[in-house]
Amino acid sequence: MEKFNNIKSIPAYLPLINVDTDKIIPKQFLKTIKRSGLGKSLFYEMRFDEKGNPIKGFTLDNEPYKDSKILITGKNFGCGSSREHAPWALIDFGIKVIISESFADIFYNNCFKNGILPIFTNENTIKELSQYSLRKESIEVQLPEQKIIFGNKSIEFELDTFKKKCLTEGLDDIALSLEKIKNIEAFEDRVNKNKPWI
């Protein structure tokens, strides 16, 4: 997992509530276990018709939002099933930050495991930030300071210390396990010596 750097981008605004993981990445794309290649199918049913032809007008297919690294969206984002393919598709598309009033719990935790920073904020801030999207002006998310900077203003956001460490250092579950490899090897050596029949 890449280390998370401060992100500055024109945000994309998706003013929808209760966007479930099937809407983020439909079930027909869940056959792969690779984390790459899913970005092209992100929000597939909103971007393509039944024949696979592009539907004009979807925000993330238009300039400059097709290159946005920050997504602003409605309440309860990532609800529904717990598929980890949803954050895989978002990160593969280029989304590094999602700002919403609320997230589904499992999706929220899966974001951190895949290098995405989900940020809770209030309705008024969502409205204010959405104006930057509509005006095609950049905002900046600073992880170390836990701040969103827009115009001449900034707001702080709350974040669990451990989750912040994982993003900052690029640690997914495998990397966290590898950090303890010496302890794991020492334990295995002790077991082999003391209980060789196991």
> Would you state the torsion angle of the CA atoms of residues 29, 10, 125, 119, taken in this order, to the nearest 10 degrees?
40
Residue 186 or 95, more confident: 95
pLDDT number for residue 6: 94
Contact 115, 167 (CB under 8 A): yes
Domain that holds residue 163: 7-171
Contact 70, 119 (CB under 8 A): no
For residue range 112-159, what is the model confidence (pLDDT) as tens digits? 999 999 999 999 999 999 999 999 999 999 999 999 999 999 999 999
Q: Would the pTM of this model clear 0.85, i.e. be above it?
A: yes
Residue 179 or 163, more confident: 163
CATH code at position 82? 3.20.19.10
Residue 96 forms part of a structural domain: yes
Residue 120 forms part of a structural domain: yes
Domain count, the chain: 1
Residue 22 forms part of a structural domain: yes
Report the relative pairing of strands 97-100 and 117-120 from DSSP bridges.
parallel
Contact 57, 86 (CB under 8 A): no
Residue 167 forms part of a structural domain: yes
For residue range 187-198, what is the model confidence (pLDDT) as tens digits? 887 878 888 776
Average pLDDT, stretch 52-69? 94
Residue 34 forms part of a structural domain: yes
Residue 183 forms part of a structural domain: no
